[in-house]
Amino acid sequence: MNQKPVPTLFEWAGGMPAFERLTEVFYARVKEDSVLGPVFAQMAPDHPKRVAHFIAEVLGGPTQYTAERGGHPTMISHHANRVLTEFQRARWVRMLCESADEVGFPSDPEFRSAFVAYLEWGSRIAVLNSQPGAKLSADQPMPKWGWGEVKGPFQG
């Protein structure tokens, strides 16, 4: 009996079009938000697409962000000295989850628990790396999130 391979989180969510739609909706909302709007006031027009490619790669999609932008060390460097707060972090996660609902991301508990787990982990890393004096590493591998299994830069 042939079993189909288990889809990646990226595939389950609907591929790159789903991630690009998610970040388009999310960053349109961010612009109007009193807490996050100022943080992203100077974002480049292609910022939503770059974030879509990053999240997609982490969740098992193509390695486009790494090939074009340099992977996890590049993302970490974008947060350097921004002094992000826990309040901003929590708002970012909540609004991204609301945007996922709005664009029709899968709502099954298995997908959402993995998706939210990554958002929580990644946003907490961003806050840590945004503080003055944070030691940023240039050799962090791209985190890889799956169905209940994490392969991130914190593993040897």
Q: Yes or no: say if 77 and 83 are a contact pair by the CB < 8 Å rule.
A: no
pTM over 0.85, yes/no: yes
pLDDT per residue over 68-119, tens digit each? 887 666 677 667 778 889 999 999 999 999 999 999 999 999 999 999 999 9
Buried b (16+ CB within 10 A) or exposed e, 42-77: eeeeeebbbbbbbbbbbbbbeebbbeebebbbbbbe
pLDDT per residue over 69-80, tens digit each? 876 666 776 677
Q: Yes or no: say if 89 and 42 are a contact pair by the CB < 8 Å rule.
A: no
DSSP state of 63: S
Domains in the chain: ranges and CATH: 9-151 (1.10.490.10)
DSSP state of 151: E
